[in-house]
């Protein structure tokens, strides 16, 4: 066999970009306005509608969103933000960049989400905020988390990079609570190339983020250069350059329309993996929480059991790659990175559940354009690897 589908590399993720989205980008490019303008405005309106939220502020990335949401809290040195080690580096990095100190609690072994029963013990006089991460698009148990936040007067910044379209007890993530930050990176459930947004119900926080995302200017550029706007502006804070472009929003407008369909296809594939893999001793699958939720299935992340598999996770990833199957690693436990060990004294053994997951986790291919026969290729490659 020379040119059959087995010869093609199957990536762990790839975006679905419709012809309408491509046409919209071209129209935008030809329109004479390619940076922040009417398409970003429309995309923000559509996001507010979809999320039933009063404020949605588009940015260059979710990292920028986390950074600005944290900066708006005006943390003092030694102010603490409680989060999870089982996340992308940006979650901890932005706490540090905003002047705070990351404090971690371990995760649940089956969902990899922050164990909310451990938060109360981590709260100190210096705690200012809690930053849960909805891992793989599975909502964290937010009711008890918000109870703790309320009791101690803490802000909550949900790192919802994986979770657009997810629901907790019948409510969309982003439609309730304090602050949510979504990512539109190409691997995420919807994309603008690069991009992200901050969603909140707090008018003060929304205006702070709006100010900081564009130089600390009290007016947005397209108002200044439009027919009706004034050309004068004031700088009232030293801000950043985190504004989304209309070229990006052109993609986002169409991605958001397709999002629920994307999640449906991801769910079908994830449940099919579950049904096929559930009795494989070489893998441990994720578990479901008892509360009502809609999982956005951003990632499908079993653990590789080295004793049963006869290889470790890294060996498993290399063996699949040899068979033309891509995988991802989301994530190694963040507290074990050199910067966090050296500056915050974290060490192996601090968060045993996260560390066990960190050593064994792998992301199998999962994206809306993947066919059932693509998935069958992944399964048979894994059978071959384990035999
Ligand atoms: C992807 C991701 C981010 C950062 O998103 P960007 O848009 O790439 O900046 C932050 N947190 C988590 C958990 C992520 O997966």
Which of 97, 181, 182, 183 has the most ligand 1 atoms within 8 A of CB, as the residue to mutate? 183
According to CATH, where is 3.40.640.10 located in the chain? Answer: 19-257
Say what the pLDDT of residue 225 is: 62
Query: Mean pLDDT, to the nearest integer, of 105-131?
Result: 98
Say yes or no: CB of residue 134 within 6 Å of ligand 1: no
Say yes or no: CB of residue 88 within 6 Å of ligand 1: yes
What CATH code is assigned to 19-257? 3.40.640.10
Say yes or no: CB of residue 159 within 6 Å of ligand 1: yes
How many Å apart are CA 243 and CA 234, to the nearest integer?
Answer: 17
Smallest CA-to-CA distance from 188 within 159, 158, 163 is with 163
Cα-to-centroid distance, 178 and ligand 1 (Å):
19
Ligand 1 atom closest to 194 (CA): 7
Angle at the Cα of 177 (from 176 to 181), degrees rounded to 5?
Answer: 95
Q: In angstroms, what CA-CA distances link 357 with 112, 157, 173, 319? A: 8, 24, 25, 20
Which of 93, 102, 133, 159 has the most ligand 1 atoms within 8 A of CB, as the residue to mutate? 159
How many Å apart are CA 241 and CA 215, to the nearest integer?
Answer: 6
According to CATH, where is 3.90.1150.10 located in the chain? Answer: 259-386
Say yes or no: CB of residue 61 within 6 Å of ligand 1: yes
pLDDT of residue 2 exceeding 50: no
Smallest CA-to-CA distance from 257 within 308, 190, 339, 174 is with 190
Q: Which residues, in sequence order, are CB contacts of 250 under 8 Å at separation 6+? A: 21, 24, 25, 27, 28, 39
Q: Which residues, in sequence order, are CB contacts of 125 under 8 Å at separation 6+? A: none
pLDDT tens digit sequence for 50-85:
999 999 999 999 999 999 999 999 999 899 999 999
Say what the pLDDT of residue 226 is: 65
Angle at the Cα of 191 (from 173 to 285), degrees rounded to 5?
Answer: 60
Say yes or no: CB of residue 183 within 6 Å of ligand 1: yes
Query: Which DSSP letter does residue 32 get?
Result: T
Which of 15, 67, 90, 188 has the most ligand 1 atoms within 8 A of CB, as the residue to mutate? 90
Task: Please report the sign of the dihedral spanned by the C-alpha atoms of residue 246, residue 57, residue 329, residue 92.
Answer: positive
pLDDT tens digit sequence for 212-224:
999 999 865 556 5
Say what the pLDDT of residue 218 is: 84
Cα-to-centroid distance, 159 and ligand 1 (Å):
8
CATH architecture of 259-386: Alpha-Beta Complex (3.90)
Strand partners of residue 171: 168
CB 125: neighbour CB atoms within 10 A?
7
Mean pLDDT score across all residues of the chain: 95
Say yes or no: CB of residue 185 within 6 Å of ligand 1: yes
pLDDT tens digit sequence for 336-364:
999 999 999 999 999 999 999 999 999 99
């Amino acid at each position: 066999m020379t040119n059959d589908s087995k010869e093609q590399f199957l990536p762990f993720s790839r975006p679905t970009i419709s012809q309408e989205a491509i046409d919209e980008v071209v129209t935008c490019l030809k329109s004479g306005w390619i940076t922040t303008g009417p398409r970003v405005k429309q995309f923000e309106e559509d996001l507010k509608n979809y999320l039933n939220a009063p404020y949605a502020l588009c940015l260059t990335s979710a990292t920028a969103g986390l950074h600005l949401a944290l900066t708006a809290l005006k943390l003092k040195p030694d102010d603490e933000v409680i989060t999870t080690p089982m996340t992308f580096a940006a979650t901890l990095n932005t706490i540090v960049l905003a002047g705070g100190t990351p404090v971690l609690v371990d995760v649940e072994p089956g969902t990899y989400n922050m164990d909310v029963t451990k938060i109360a013990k981590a709260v100190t006089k210096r705690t200012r905020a809690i930053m849960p991460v909805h891992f793989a698009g599975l909502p964290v148990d937010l009711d008890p988390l918000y109870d703790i936040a309320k009791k101690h007067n803490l802000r909550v910044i949900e790192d919802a990079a994986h979770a657009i379209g997810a629901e907790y007890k019948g409510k969309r993530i982003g439609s309730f609570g304090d602050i949510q930050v979504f990512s539109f990176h190409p691997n995420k459930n919807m994309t603008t190339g690069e991009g992200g947004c901050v969603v909140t119900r707090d008018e003060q926080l929304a205006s702070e983020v709006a100010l900081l995302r564009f130089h600390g200017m009290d007016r947005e550029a397209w108002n200044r250069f439009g027919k009706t706007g004034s050309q004068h502006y004031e700088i009232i804070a030293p801000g950043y350059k985190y504004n989304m472009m209309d070229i990006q929003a052109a993609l986002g407008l169409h991605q958001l329309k397709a999002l629920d369909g994307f999640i449906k296809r991801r769910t079908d594939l994830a449940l099919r993996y579950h049904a096929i893999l559930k009795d494989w001793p070489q893998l441990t699958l994720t578990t479901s929480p008892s509360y009502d939720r809609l999982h956005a299935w951003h990632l499908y992340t079993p653990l590789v059991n080295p004793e049963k598999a006869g290889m470790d996770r890294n060996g498993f990833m290399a063996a699949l790659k040899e068979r033309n199957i891509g995988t991802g690693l989301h994530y190694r436990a963040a507290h074990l990175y050199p910067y966090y060990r050296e500056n915050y004294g974290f060490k192996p053994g601090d968060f045993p559940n996260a560390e066990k997951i960190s050593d064994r986790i792998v992301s199998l291919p999962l994206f809306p354009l993947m066919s059932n026969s693509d998935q069958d290729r992944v399964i048979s490659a894994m059978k071959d690897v384990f035999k």
